[in-house]
Structure 1
Amino acid sequence: MSLAAQNSSVERIIIPNKHGQKLVGNLHQSGITTDVVILCHGFRCSKDTNLILNLAVALEKAQISSFRFDFSGNGESEGSFQYGNYWTEVDDLHAVTQHFRESNRVIRAIVGHSKGGDVVLLYASKYHDIKTVVNLSGRYDLKAGIEERLGKDYLEIIKKDGFIDVKKRSGSLDYRVTKESLMEVLGTNLNEVCPQIDKECRVLTIHGSSDEINSVQDAHEFAKIIPNHKLHIIEGADHAYNNHQDELLSVVVCFIKETIDQNKGTAS
């Protein structure tokens, strides 16, 4: 048994968000350090997604504790699923960071995949209390992909009916898009928001060159506008890094370890 395995444990933690809904997560405690990294899942995913689980395990092996949780309306957390909901998820993440600060933990980094990548960037633009952010395959233009998901006439339909129902392949209801949630997505501009990230905040964007969901060009756009930014493209990787997990995990862990080494003895 490795030293990391000997000194690690997983604890289920429930944290209320600002609406009183219970956010459910798992704390992977590694060693005796108070450092913790927060892991954020993507659209229609959960804390138990392979990529998020693999990140938690890789951080454990590096003796870094992490917390992976479900946003409200996802996974085990309370609330109903809402399309968009970016700023609500930012609020959920803030509830989590506040919980760990009150528990005298030092939050060394926030990491998000896909939609979670956008959430951690939005968080960093609003709250300047985290000095390391990792954006995995985030989408630069949130309007991109809406037509593909909701149909060409989505604006006319939502103006007429007030909602659009997205169906599963089986024909059953997957989720409902309300006018309010759609307008939030259309009104959230990463190009305007990202330059508000503190210059002291180190941001790493990782993206696969063969990402079929969010184009690798999105990563290059982030690199242009985020003040303190590092870009890492993984050649041949798809959106979930299915055949490139080792490189992904290595780059993320090394970046976070650099931060911890640079900031030893200081709070985030």
Structure 2
Amino acid sequence: MAKRHKVEFSGGSGARLAGILEMPDQGAPRAYALFAHCFTCGKDVVSASRIARKLAGLGIAVLRFDFTGLGASEGDFADTNFSSNVRDLLCAADFLHREHHPVDLLIGHSLGGAAVLAAAGEIEEAKAIVTIAAPADPDHVIKQFACSIDTIEAQGHAEVQLAGRPFTIKKHFLEDLDSHKMGYIRELGRPLLIYHSPVDQTVSIDEAAEIYNRAMHPKSFISLDHADHLLTRREDADYVASTLAAWAEPYLRRAEDK
């Protein structure tokens, strides 16, 4: 079991961000993790909530939060972009460090995984990094609204349907994606674990191969053989959490021994 605490902190734009800190039910946490959710999802998407709760049950505290303009967080999604997500992550890491403990593990799902890779260089205390179904480059997300690109370019914005919900995408979102190239994957300087499903229909497993090839050792890959992109089956989320905790243990223990 885990203890769940609602938290709030200021994001990169000054908006109040809503988060949940999952804590082990008994004893002090072995480590603290920061979880970044998938594009247009939220902290309560089943993958994020199940992985966080399972990790807490295994002794790892997890902070999951809504990016600006999503879920219970303040702000307008239309005014956000990949860079603002990275800034929100940095604010979340600072909050966790200030109020509880420095971040030990960075975990990101889908575009959240790309954001974690981008933010890692500025979260130096993180001992290890984990991506789940993440693209190698953030501009991969454009495929989800490719038919609206011409409208966005011509009119400056467009309403698009993502996961059955309407979102406004502005031209600055596209321009910001163009400015990000994931060369910093090679500069992570910490252990990296990559999860991906070979049957992922949203982000191809080729993206995992690209991340793996760019990264330096130590790096590991775990296949989620029958999982969908959002890890909607409980057993897939539980498998990620269990293997993640086992993989991270040597790196956490080594840091404690220093």
Q: TM-score, normalised by structure 1?
A: 0.85
Secondary structure of the corresponding residue to residue 20 of structure 2: strand
Larger Rg: 1
Which of residues 173, 196, 219 is equivalent to 1:207? Answer: 196
Asked if residue 224 in structure 1 is aligned to residue 220 in structure 2, the reply is no
Tell me the equivalent position of 1:178: 170
Which 4+ stretches in 1 moved above 4 angstroms?
167-170
Gap change, CA 1:163 and 1:67, over 3 Å in 2: same
Tell me the equivalent position of 2:60: 64
- Please state which structure has a larger fraction of its residues in helix: 2
Tell me the equivalent position of 1:109: 105
Counterparts of 1:68 and 1:52 in 2: how far apart (Å)? 7
Unaligned runs of 5+ in 2: none
Counterparts of 2:187 and 2:86 in 1: how far apart (Å)? 15
Q: Which amino acid aligns with 2:159?
A: D
Tell me the equivalent position of 1:48: 44
**CA apart distance, 1:99:** 1.5
**CA apart distance, 1:148:** 5.0
Gap change, CA 1:159 and 1:45, over 3 Å in 2: closer
Aligned pairs for 1:188-207 within 5 A: 188-190=180-182, 192-197=183-188, 199=189, 201-207=190-196
Gap change, CA 1:32 and 1:148, over 3 Å in 2: closer
Counterparts of 1:23 and 1:55 in 2: how far apart (Å)? 20
Tell me the equivalent position of 2:17: 23
CA deviations 1:124-164 (Å, max 9, x no partner) are 1444332211100101243445255131x72x433321222
Tell me the equivalent position of 1:32: 28
Secondary structure of the corresponding residue to residue 222 of structure 2: strand
Tell me the equivalent position of 2:239: 247
Q: Which amino acid aligns with 1:81?
A: F
Counterparts of 1:238 and 1:54 in 2: how far apart (Å)? 15
Secondary structure of the corresponding residue to residue 107 of structure 1: coil
Q: Which amino acid aligns with 1:239?
A: H
Unaligned runs of 5+ in 1: none
Counterparts of 2:122 and 2:197 in 1: how far apart (Å)? 27
RMSD of the alignment, in Å?
2.3
Secondary structure of the corresponding residue to residue 263 of structure 1: helix
Q: Which amino acid aligns with 1:214?
A: V
Asked if residue 238 in structure 1 is aligned to residue 228 in structure 2, the reply is yes
CA deviations 1:159-179 (Å, max 9, x no partner) are 321222214798xx8122211
**CA apart distance, 1:245:** 3.0
Which of residues 6, 10, 25 is equivalent to 2:4? Answer: 10
Which of 106-115 and 250-259 deviates more? 250-259
Q: Which amino acid aligns with 2:127?
A: K
Q: Which amino acid aligns with 1:236?
A: H
Counterparts of 2:3 and 2:112 in 1: how far apart (Å)? 25
CA deviations 1:181-233 (Å, max 9, x no partner) are 1111122222x231232x2x111110011101000111011111112321112
Which of 98-107 and 38-47 deviates more? 98-107
**CA apart distance, 1:15:** 0.7
Q: TM-score, normalised by structure 2?
A: 0.88
Secondary structure of the corresponding residue to residue 125 of structure 2: coil
Identity of aligned residues (%): 22
Aligned pairs for 1:114-193 within 5 A: 114-144=110-140, 146-147=142-143, 149-151=145-147, 154=149, 156-167=150-161, 174-190=166-182, 192-193=183-184
Counterparts of 2:162 and 2:48 in 1: how far apart (Å)? 24
Number of equivalences: 253
CA deviations 1:212-266 (Å, max 9, x no partner) are 1000111011111112321112222221233433422222221233332222266
Counterparts of 2:52 and 2:143 in 1: how far apart (Å)? 34
For the 8 Å contact 2:81–2:172, the answer to whether it is kept is no
Secondary structure of the corresponding residue to residue 12 of structure 1: strand
Counterparts of 1:176 and 1:215 in 2: how far apart (Å)? 25
